[in-house]
Amino acid sequence: MDIIYFLIPVALVLVAAIVAGLFWAVKSGQFDDLEGPAHQILMDDEIYPEKKDEEKKQEK
């Protein structure tokens, strides 16, 4: 059973990493909008009108 002297500290390190990850996520705004991104994935790529105009000019 002495293995727990090794395994439990490993678990503690993992937990510390998880908590650090969570704090980072909250701070960097990952939880700011929980609904929008789910829809955004379905939308087309970004379109910039002025870039489109440039493309048209190049075609001419």
Partner 1 sequence: MAEQSHQDIQCFHCGLPVPDGLELSVEIDHQAQPMCCKGCEAVARAIVAGGMESYYQYRTEKSTTAKELVPDMLRQTEVYDRAEVQRSFVRQSDENIREASLILEGIDCAACVWLNEQHIKGQPGVLEAQVNYSTHRARVVWDEREIKLSDILKAVAEIGYIAHPYDPSQHHQILEKQRKDYLKRLGLAGALGMQVMMFSIAMYNGDWWGMEQKYRTFIEWVSLLLTLPVFLYSGWPFYRAAWRDIKHRRAGMDVPISLGIIIAFSGSLFAMAGAGGHVYFDSVVMFIFFLLTARYLELVARKKASEHTEALIQSQATTAIRELSGNETEIVAAQELEPGDIVQVKPGETIPSDGEVIEGRSSIDESLLSGESRPCLKQAGAKVIGGGINIESPLRIRVTECGQETVLSTILRLVERAQSEKPAIARLADRVAGRFVVGILLLAAVVAIYWYLRDPTQWLAVTIAVLVVTCPCALSLATPAAITAATGTLIREGLLCSRGYALETLAKVNHFVFDKTGTLTDGQLEIIQVLQLSDDLSKDACLLQAASLEARSEHPVARAFIKSCNTELLVVENLSSTPGSGLAGRINGKQVFLGSMQYIQQQTGLEMKDDQSKKLESGSRVLLSDQNYLLAVYVLQDAIRDQAAPLIDDLRQAGIESLLFSGDDETAVSIVAEKLGIEDYRSAMLPADKLQQLKILQQQGATVAMLGDGVNDAPVLAGADVSIAMGEGARYAAAAADMVLFRQDLNVIFRGVTIARKMMRIIRQNLSWALAYNIIALPLAAAGFIQPWMAALGMSASSLIVVANAMRLTK
Is 13 a binding residue for partner 1 by CB under 8 A? The answer is: no
- CA gap 21, 28 in Å, rounded: 11
- Exactly one of 49, 57, 58, 60 binds partner 1 (CB under 8 A); that residue is 49
Q: How many residues does the chain have?
A: 60
What phi and psi, each to the nearest 5 degrees, are found at residue 30? Answer: -65, -25
* Comparison of 42 and 58: residue with beta carbon closer to partner 1: 42
Which secondary structure element, helix H or strand E, spans residue 25, and what is its range?
Answer: helix 4-27
Q: Provide the binding-site residues for partner 1, judged by CB under 8 A.
A: 1, 4-5, 8, 11-12, 15, 18-19, 22-23, 26-27, 31-36, 38-40, 42-44, 46-50, 52
